[in-house]
Structure 1
Amino acid sequence: MIEHRHLRYFLALADLLHYGKASAQVSVTQPSLSRQIADLESQLGCQLFVRTSRSVELTSAGLEFQRSAQLVMQAMDSAIRSTQAVARGEKGALRIAFTSMIAWSGLPKLIKSYADSAPGVNLELSELIPSALMKAVESGECDIGLTFEATVQPPYQYRELQRESLSIAVPADHRLAHQKVVTVKDLVDEPFILSPRNTASALHDGIVQLCRQNGFEPRARMYTQLQGTIVNLVGEGLGVSIIPTAMSKSNPESVRFVRIDDAPELALGMVWNTTNSNPCLSAFIQSVDARLDET
């Protein structure tokens, strides 16, 4: 059977046409190289080299085999490099799910940093509501999710990446629209537009708890799942909302965002299945850790 070493030894001799130099290049003795070449010729059933006391030359069959062997070695080297790149998470695919407001936070910079360091990885991004995102992680439909704080059990893990402040969103002609800072108590009796608890429990519970701490129960006029939709509904004058400040980057003309005095911050982070064997996932987590260490 012709093996990798036969091709390597043959190509060294075909290139150098000198047994002493070729044996030194492949780190074997000259007699060992001679035996390997003789074995290769025996298996092929033809002579590859013409040997004289002064020179070594390729036969016509040897020239043809040299061309073919070079292609085989190039293909093998490419396969090795490609396989190793996949194993290092430098090549392949990574499926990232994220909630709508994540796109307005600082987390996309983490995605860009990884994408820049791993151009061979195809990033598949999916925008999902928080509850659907967790189901996607659990089912293996995505490799990692970027979302609000999540309480998970092994084999799942949640890691906080940043804190996000809260602001009120009010119509541009609202009585609070031109305030620099407001308190939650300023929203007593206002009609709220909220995320439903069954789709975004961390955000919903945080807002309700904040209102209760300030002595009132938020009067929900309507519920909708996406933060961008909430902002649009506020702009239409259908109510007010408490939302992550990052949503102010959407900058709609019909909405004003006002900072809430002493409001708690929301945690944003990533969640994944620790048994997920995708090397790109490990590489992404390492990239995120390195980026956070720089800040």
Structure 2
Amino acid sequence: MIERSHLRIIQAVEEHGSLTAAARELCVTQSALSHTVRKLEDNLGTPVWLREGRSLRLTQAGRYLLNIANRVLPLLFHAEDKLKQMAMGERGTLRIGMECHPCYQWLLKVVSPFLDAWPDVDVDVKQKFQFGGVGALLDYEIDLLVTPDPFYKSNLSFTPVFDYEQVLVVPKDHALTNQPFAEPEDLRNEVLLTYPVATDRLDIYSQFLTPAGVVPKQHKTSETTEIMLQMVACQRGVAALPRWLAEEYCQKLPLDVVRLGEQGIAKQIYLGTREGDEEIGYLKAFIDLAKDYEHPFSG
């Protein structure tokens, strides 16, 4: 029988690289860990690892068990945590995953009144989910996903919370500032700065450049909004960002904002939850607060 301890061992060895390090992480002796693995392999009738010198390489069976561990263990930890909170009369932690790089500033404006209203609920924001948030939501790694690109799937629900416009940010006095809006062809000789996201998930490509068959002169990425816009201000390129965020930085840096196309690029921010979870008191309160918050940068 495959037990939770087996899954945790396989996960720990993969994370730490050796039986010795995994045993240390799991607070057991290496011999006890090795015995447990050998017993599992005997029961399964197939090896989990192959030794290559001092290192271990997962077999096909081991890789399959690792995938199971990565899906099942977070669910078990989450269940235990929730049950302990229920036993102690606590509400616990709202875990928020971010698929929207520039939305962190918006999130802070919503989190502050939420914490005031729900003193027994903590908030944990996880920004590692660039575009893997749906999987994290389904695997119970997070409770709420902030995303501009809802991925409709069974057992998930997405609630729109505010509208915004994606615009082009250019250096002050850039030639495009004299035009009512930018055309895709205008970016053919520009250096385009974006977040490190696949181009097919970037609106500037999917809704503006790619349909017109235009590729910018060069595409560079930046992890942080601040560095990206410092580079734009220093005439190192142009960037596409939500209007509310771009105009906020226009007050600090020599920047201008230009509409992308005559109609502009309209977007929405969504909050994703598992179906049924949206009725949890503090989760519903967060969503309601996000919807009711008067966004000075919407539109």
TM range (shorter): 0.5 to 0.7
Alignment correspondent of 1:103: 104
Question: What letter is aligned with 1:139?
Answer: D
Q: How many residues align?
A: 205
Q: Deviations over 1:26-70 (max 9, x none)?
A: xxxxxxxxxxxxxxxxxxxxxxxxxxxxxxxxxxxxxxxxxxxxx
Matched position secondary structure for 1:234: helix
How far residue 237 of structure 1 moved from its aligned partner, in angstroms, is 2.7
RMSD of aligned alpha carbons: 3.6
Q: Aligned pair in 2 of structure 1 residues 267, 130: CA closer, same or farther (>3 Å)?
A: farther
Alignment correspondent of 2:158: 158
CA distance in 1, matches of 2:134, 2:172: 35
How far residue 153 of structure 1 moved from its aligned partner, in angstroms, is 0.8
User: Normalization by structure 2: what TM-score?
Assistant: 0.55
CA distance in 1, matches of 2:259, 2:164: 12
Alignment of 1:171-190 (within 5 A): 171-172=171-172, 174-176=174-176, 178-179=177-178, 181-185=180-184, 186-190=186-190
Contact 1:110-1:291 at 8 Å conserved across structures: yes
Alignment of 1:100-139 (within 5 A): 100-105=101-106, 108-128=108-128, 130-139=130-139
Q: Aligned pair in 2 of structure 1 residues 256, 115: CA closer, same or farther (>3 Å)?
A: same
CA distance in 2, matches of 1:188, 1:266: 24
CA distance in 1, matches of 2:240, 2:291: 30
Alignment of 1:1-295 (within 5 A): 83=89, 86=90, 91-98=91-98, 99-105=100-106, 108-128=108-128, 130-172=130-172, 174-176=174-176, 178-179=177-178, 181-185=180-184, 186-198=186-198, 201-202=200-201, 204-214=202-212, 216-248=214-246, 249-251=248-250, 252-260=252-260, 261-274=262-275, 276=277, 279-288=281-290
Matched position secondary structure for 1:165: strand
Q: Deviations over 1:136-180 (max 9, x none)?
A: 33332321121212213122222221221122112235333x547
How far residue 192 of structure 1 moved from its aligned partner, in angstroms, is 1.5
Unaligned 5+ segments in structure 1 are 1-79
CA distance in 2, matches of 1:244, 1:289: 18
Q: Deviations over 1:196-224 (max 9, x none)?
A: 543x754x145343124556334443234
Q: Deviations over 1:214-247 (max 9, x none)?
A: 5633444323454444323323432212221122
Matched position secondary structure for 1:216: coil
Q: Identity, % of aligned pairs?
A: 18
**Bigger Rg over Cα:** 1
CA distance in 1, matches of 2:288, 2:268: 20
Question: What letter is aligned with 1:187?
Answer: L
Q: Aligned pair in 2 of structure 1 residues 264, 146: CA closer, same or farther (>3 Å)?
A: same
User: Normalization by structure 1: what TM-score?
Assistant: 0.56
Question: What letter is aligned with 1:155?
Answer: N
